Amino acid sequence: MNKIHEILARNVTNVIPSKNLLLEKLKSGKKLNVYFGIDPTATRVHVGHAVALRKLQEFVETGHNVTFLIGDFTALIGDTSDKDTERPILTYQEIEQNFKTYKKQASKILDFSKVKVKFNSTWLSKLKFAEIVKLCQQFSFGDFASRELIKKRLKNKKRVGLHEALYPVMQGYDSYYLDTDIQIGGADQTFNMQAGRTLLKNYRNKESFIIVTPYLTGIDGRKMSKSWGNAIWLDDTADEIFGKVMSISDNLILEYFQNATNTGEEKLEEIKKALKSGINPNEIKKELAYIIARELTTERKAMSAKKKFVKTFSKKDPEFLLEIKINKTLADTIAPHTNLKSVGDAKRLIQQGAIKINGDLVTDLNYKIKKGDKIKIGKKVFGTLV
């Protein structure tokens, strides 16, 4: 399989308008304008974003014009594509603080010596009101209102801010301004990326493409998210990475090898066969944790984390490597790390004596937890409350 076919073979869930048309474009030999954007709504970038970053790096390696876009202006609104409520409005100061380390984190995946870094405030902040009205005329509010989560919020009489409808217009303008040939993003971004295709078609009579990359499931079984505290961060220490990977469900092992590492296809086939053979999944998970830690830190740090993990667990005196975000109650806090991912399941575990905090058994549902507490959930999950 040649490099062009490889780009569209792995970690691509959809190509719009079609994979065959994009293949023809890629075979033409023309350098294409490719971009991926990320809003600085948090200070850190996680390995879920790295799925798209790896795809972007493939275009770097094949000689295309690649842009890493920081949405410092779109972050003022915040995308609610995968949220069931409005995002809180961020200040300029918060946004600026958030993106300070984005390039450093993404450089673990992207070769920035061959990538342009741009901020969309450069062009969006200069648009006049009349120009914004003209852009909005290219879209139907009905299309926006028919989006699944927006429809659900309206049905449940939850507020939908009018400003939220501007987000896809702004993202579409990013694509138009950059004269994009290919946009890369997750499935939740498809509607917003389609806005870019619309503007390019209407204003430049240009056919552009969308590559949709798969989600990476978070360590709690939901989609990995900046705001849900279920992420492996690109700037996590090797110890933190190792502990988090070892906490994932066995059924996520293949997904993580496929989407969160650079593991080659032959090795992936070996792993599939090993899992089917009945090998202890924990042994494969240790290899997975080591690979992710090595790719995001160094081989020495990854090996140290592996040795430390094996040593502490063999002593049955584990180190508390996983960071668990405090929620309203003890049950709410541990729910994402239970089998059913539910508060009800968490309450049952507490009442059944499956929870230890700082070494003490806790069965009181009203137990007051605090940052720094060491918590054990069942036999496999060990963490520090943050």
Q: How far is CA 36 from the centre of its chain?
A: 13
- The phi, psi pair for 246, rounded to 5°, reads -65, -15
In a domain, 130, yes or no: yes
Q: Which segments of the chain does DSSP mark as H helices, in order?
A: 3-9, 19-27, 47-61, 92-99, 102-106, 121-124, 129-136, 141-145, 148-155, 166-177, 190-204, 238-246, 253-260, 265-276, 281-296, 299-314, 330-334, 343-351
Same-domain check for residues 8 and 154: yes
Q: What CATH number does the domain containing 241 carry? A: 1.10.240.10
Same domain, 206 and 240: no
In the structure, what pLDDT confidence band is assigned to residue 52 with cuts at 50, 70 and 90?
A: very high
In a domain, 229, yes or no: no
Domain coverage including residue 92: 3-213
Give me the CATH number covering residue 120. 3.40.50.620
Q: Is residue 334 part of a domain?
A: yes
For residue 324, the surrounding DSSP H or E stretch is strand 322-324
Residue that is last in its domain, among 254, 288, 315: 315
Q: Does one domain contain both 251 and 376?
A: no
226 occurs within a structural domain: no
Mean predicted lDDT score pLDDT of the chain: 87
Distance of CA 217 to the CA centre of its chain: 8
The residue with greater pLDDT, 320 or 291, is: 291
116 falls within a domain: yes
pLDDT of 41 higher than 80: no
Condensed to tens digits (0 to 9), the pLDDT of residues 341-381 reads 778 878 888 888 888 888 788 888 899 999 888 888 877 67
205 with 112, same domain?
A: yes
Which pLDDT score is estimated for 319?
46
Please return the burial class of 358, using the count of CB atoms within 10 Å of its CB with bins 0-12, 13-18 and 19+: exposed
Lowest mean pLDDT among 182-191, 319-328, 361-370: 319-328
Least confident among 54-63, 71-80, 244-253? 71-80
Residue 58 sits in the same domain as residue 98: yes
Are 304 and 373 found together in one domain? no
**What is the residue whose two structure tokens read 């937890």?**
369
Do residues 122 and 244 both lie within one domain? no
Position 362 in a domain? yes
| Mean pLDDT in residue range 205-225 | 91
Q: What is the CATH number of the domain that holds 383?
A: 3.10.290.10
Alpha-carbon distance of 328 to 132, in angstroms, equals 41
Q: Which residue has the higher pLDDT, 81 or 275?
A: 275
- Asked if 44 and 193 sit in the same domain, the reply is yes
Q: 73-104: per-residue pLDDT in tens?
A: 888 776 555 544 445 666 777 777 777 788 88
- Check residue 252 and report its DSSP letter: G
- Into how many domains does the chain fold? 3
Q: Is the pLDDT of residue 132 over 90?
A: yes
Q: Residue 359's pLDDT is what? A: 76
How far is it, in rounded angstroms, from Cα 342 to Cα 347? 9
> Is residue 39 one of the residues assigned to a domain?
yes
What's the pLDDT score for residue 317?
Answer: 47
Q: Which of 33-42, 54-63, 250-259 is the least confident region?
A: 33-42
CA dist list (Å): 4 to 27, 56, 268: 7, 13, 20
The pLDDT of residue 79: 59
Q: Please give the residue that has the higher pLDDT: either 156 or 131.
A: 131
Q: Could you tell me if 7 and 133 lie in one domain?
A: yes
Whether residue 227 is contained in a domain is answered as no
Percent of the chain at pLDDT above 90? 47
Contact 375, 363 (CB under 8 A): no
Long-range contacts for 262-271 (Cβ within 8 Å, ≥24 apart)?
A: 262/54, 262/295, 263/291, 265/10
Does residue 269 sit in the same domain as residue 363? no
Q: Which residues contact 74 (CB under 8 A, 6 or more apart)?
A: 37, 39, 120, 124, 167, 170, 171, 174
- State whether 324 and 207 are in the same domain: no
* 321 pLDDT tier (thresholds 50, 70, 90): low
* Per-residue model confidence (pLDDT) at position 314: 58
Residues 52 and 154 in one domain: yes
Q: Is the pLDDT of residue 228 over 90?
A: no
